Amino acid sequence: MKVFVVTKKMLGSFSVIALCLVLFFGINYRNTLNFIAAATEKRQIPIYNVDVGETKKVAISFDAAWGNEDTQMLIDILGKYNVKATFFVVGEWVDKYPESVKALADAGHDIQNHSSTHAHLPQLSRDQIAKEITDCSDKIEAVTGKKSNLIRPPYGDYSNSVLETAKEVGHYVIQWDVDSLDWKDPPSSDIVKRVTGKVKPGSIVLFHNAAKNTPAALPGVIEALQADGYEFVLINDLIYKDNYYIDHAGMQILNSESENKAG
């Protein structure tokens, strides 16, 4: 009969191997749990458009973060067609161009929040996200007398933390379902074709101030959509303020037939 003798050296080796196995499986077990938790966390979605049935309502919006060369042109064009728009402004833009912000507000346009510094909000802590939103809102109020209640995250970049924090500080998070791509400086005719071809009832359209060809494209967009029976409304008048849910594609849908709009 063979006798297997375990020496102190072998015992030490076994102990090291056992410890490595424990650490390996322990770490991987924790990683697996973390992966499962992350995978099962429900991804929250902001508002991209609104379910308004067959009612032909559309909201146009502008992101204002850089120059203001065309601001007065936009005001004049929108005024000519009696169209009101929502302008998402960066706090630093408000600091630099308070006269433009006031002119927009005086013309009846809705001035809303695009963060204070145009930061990538998901990369910030919740406190930092809140500060980005509230600082911008305070700057808007200082010029217009009215705080913001809508936030469009810079770059369209969001996370659950961004949505939850925005809600905590009294803001709805707004994206878009029709992108004019005007920041790429396509010909104005291409902008008109793209926007009018994609708009549907309840759409939110994205433009930018200081985009080269937007002023030239805007009349064509407005005229085509008005001819098709569309009414232009502010985002605040398009979205539901309570008793709603947002589907997987970002459409905001009313939970019942009751009216839940708020000004």
| Catalytic residue set | 63, 208
Measured torsion, CA atoms of residues 210, 216, 217, 222, in degrees rounded to the nearest 10: 110
Alpha-carbon distance of 76 to 169, in angstroms, equals: 33
| Total count of residues recorded for the chain | 263
- Direct distance between the N- and C-terminal alpha carbons of the chain, in angstroms, rounded to an integer: 92
- Asked if residue 204 lies in contact with residue 48, where contact means CB atoms within 8 angstroms, the answer is yes
Q: Which two tokens stand for residue 248?
A: 């997987």
Alpha-carbon distance of 115 to 64, in angstroms, equals: 11
Q: Which two tokens stand for residue 157?
A: 């970049």
- Asked if residue 47 lies in contact with residue 203, where contact means CB atoms within 8 angstroms, the answer is no
Alpha-carbon distance of 261 to 259, in angstroms, equals: 6
